[in-house]
Structure 1
């Protein structure tokens, strides 16, 4: 009986508008909190991009001043373009660029802790953007294998956000080429397939070393997942490069593009 009386009183007060102000204030607070969180997200993202811009400027300046010589640093040959960056952080193994996109970033490699740079910047401090990083099984100078590079697709358009645009063939047609600079040489790859799946086993993650069986399985898998026919294909014996990011259109989804080396 008390419960029924309480319900009638609540309903009466609701009709009189006694709770509207409370709900309005609660809604306003929630909206304000969301706006603040979004602002923090974009500000931090912008700060991370500024740090990358400084690295790009350092790289470009060094490229203009460097010679063709490859002096050794820490026992490794490093071209003049990347010497200063390598001295700042020897986890650097490459720099990846796709012309006409925002993808222009260093690639890191820490096989003992593969996802170390998933949420860290070049200075190794916490960063929501993280950096591009190489799969622990990838070998940057091994021919006939597959280099797998992971990166976040950020809402601010940074890192691998543009990778999702390869879901449309028209985008692939205008952005087929990937440049990957190692510490010793510049390489060019041509994208031949783009696909997505929520099943990691269906993606070419199992293919890193120069194994014919794994290569053929990866190529067959990508052909089955391909979102469109590019008219191009990879073959056993090619050098491959796979770029991977999250795809939120499906549970545990991943979006990948696969390319073969042409230069």
Structure 2
């Protein structure tokens, strides 16, 4: 009799354990589906916004930002990096948190927007400009900055365009770095005064994953050099950032070079 009772208890315990394992499996599966659906929603939302914005992309010959500015007066530029999906309006908020999770329409969006550091001059008249964007696995926003960490891609793709309401800059990629968010050489704008060249160029040369010496030489020779930095999160270490630095060349000057 005792053996039978013991057997019943064992079977009951096995049933309880199996039941809870099934419940845990169902919860885990449901959560996984939720995460996948949520990621899909985030990526789809970002792609939809980009698709809408591309219809309003200013023409390179005569940049007209009137339609973009009617949607959001914080739009200050449009950046394109050739060979990537980076083709977005650039915004500038009151702080660097304004557009970290807000799209160009001002609506909440986990993908956020591409935005200019709030300490930079909105008209891109500084010597150094810092752009931020989320890293997205789909390559959206600044996810494609990962491509520049591949030597073959870095060698082949070295151009871009920065459109402003009153002028156009041709971009020449100078270097790509993997650095920390506390790197003052990159993330402290006060370290990039008009006479920044000596210390900063030495730092770039010594810390770059890849660099183009011809572009760095051009920056060194330039009387009033201008640089734009594109930065996003990366996974090499805690608080790591990928930074792509590009020389800004006014379109008329670029035409003269050719």
TM tier relative to shorter chain: 0.7 to 0.9
State the secondary structure of the residue aligned to 1:155.
coil
Distance 2:20 2:198 in 1: 63
8 Å CA contact 1:95, 1:181 repeated in 2? yes
Task: Quote the Cα distance in structure 2 between the aligned partners of 1:33 and 1:199.
Answer: 32
**Runs of 4+ that moved beyond 6 A:** none
Which residue does 1:102 correspond to in 2? 85
**Closer, same or farther in 2 for the Cα pair 1:177/1:119, shift >3 Å?**
same
Instruction: State the superposition RMSD in angstroms.
Output: 2.8
Counterpart of 2:212 in 1: which secondary structure?
Answer: coil
For the residues of structure 1 that align with 2:85 and 2:17, how far apart are their CA atoms?
A: 49
The question of 1:148 aligning with 2:130 is answered: yes
Asked whether 1:89 is paired with 2:76, we answer no
Ranges in structure 1 where 5+ consecutive residues have no aligned partner: 1-8, 69-78
Gap change, CA 1:28 and 1:256, over 3 Å in 2: same
Task: Measure the CA separation in 1 of the matches of 2:126 and 2:89.
Answer: 23
Distance in 1 between residues matched to 2:34 and 2:132, nearest whole Å: 29
Q: Which runs of 5+ in 2 are unaligned?
A: 1-6
Q: Does 1:185 align with 2:167?
A: yes
| Within-5 A mapping of 1:162-201 | 162-201=144-183
1:254: Cα distance to partner?
1.1
Matching residue of 1:257: 244
Tell me if the contact between 2:176 and 2:211 (Cα under 8 Å) persists in the aligned partners. no
Give the alignment of 1:11-30 within 5 angstroms: 19-30=17-28
8 Å contact 2:57–2:78 — kept in the other structure? no
TM-score relative to the length of structure 2: 0.81
Deviation for aligned residue 1:229: 4.1
